Amino acid sequence: MSKSKMVKKLNPKEITLDTRHTDLPATVGLVNEVRDELKMEIKGEVGSLRGEMNTFKAEMYAFRAETRANFSKVDSKLDLLMAAVHRTQALMEEQRSENRIVLDSYKLLWQKQEQIDKSLTRLKGF
Q: Is residue 11 part of a domain?
A: no
pLDDT band at 71 (very low <50, low <70, confident <90, very high): very high
Residue 26 has pLDDT above 70, yes or no: yes
> Is residue 105 domain-resident?
yes
**When comparing pLDDT for 15 and 107, which is higher?**
107
Cα Rg of the chain (Å, integer): 54
Is 5 part of a structural domain of the chain? no
Task: Give a yes or no: residue 67 inside a domain.
Answer: yes
Full DSSP string of the chain: --HHHHSPPPPGGG------GGGSPPPHHHHHHHHHHHHHHHHHHHHHHHHHHHHHHHHHHHHHHHHHHHHHHHHHHHHHHHHHHHHHHHHHHHHHHHHHHHHHHHHHHHHHHHHHHHHHHHHHT-
With respect to residue 14, please indicate whether it lies within any of the assigned structural domains: no
Mean pLDDT value of segment 67-77: 97
Question: Which pLDDT tens digit goes with each residue over 7-24?
Answer: 667 676 666 666 666 666
Phi, psi angles (nearest 5°) of residue 16: -120, 130
Distance of CA 30 to CAs 20, 26, 121, Å?
17, 6, 132
Residue 83 lies in a domain: yes
Question: Does residue 101 lie within any of the structural domains?
Answer: yes
How many separate domains does the chain show? 1
Model pTM?
A: 0.48
Q: Which residue has the higher pLDDT, 92 or 28?
A: 92
Would residue 18 count as lying in a domain? no
* Average pLDDT rounded to a whole number, residues 84-102: 95
Give the domain range for residue 97: 26-117
**C-alpha to C-alpha distance for 75 and 68, rounded to whole angstroms:** 10
84 pLDDT higher than 80: yes
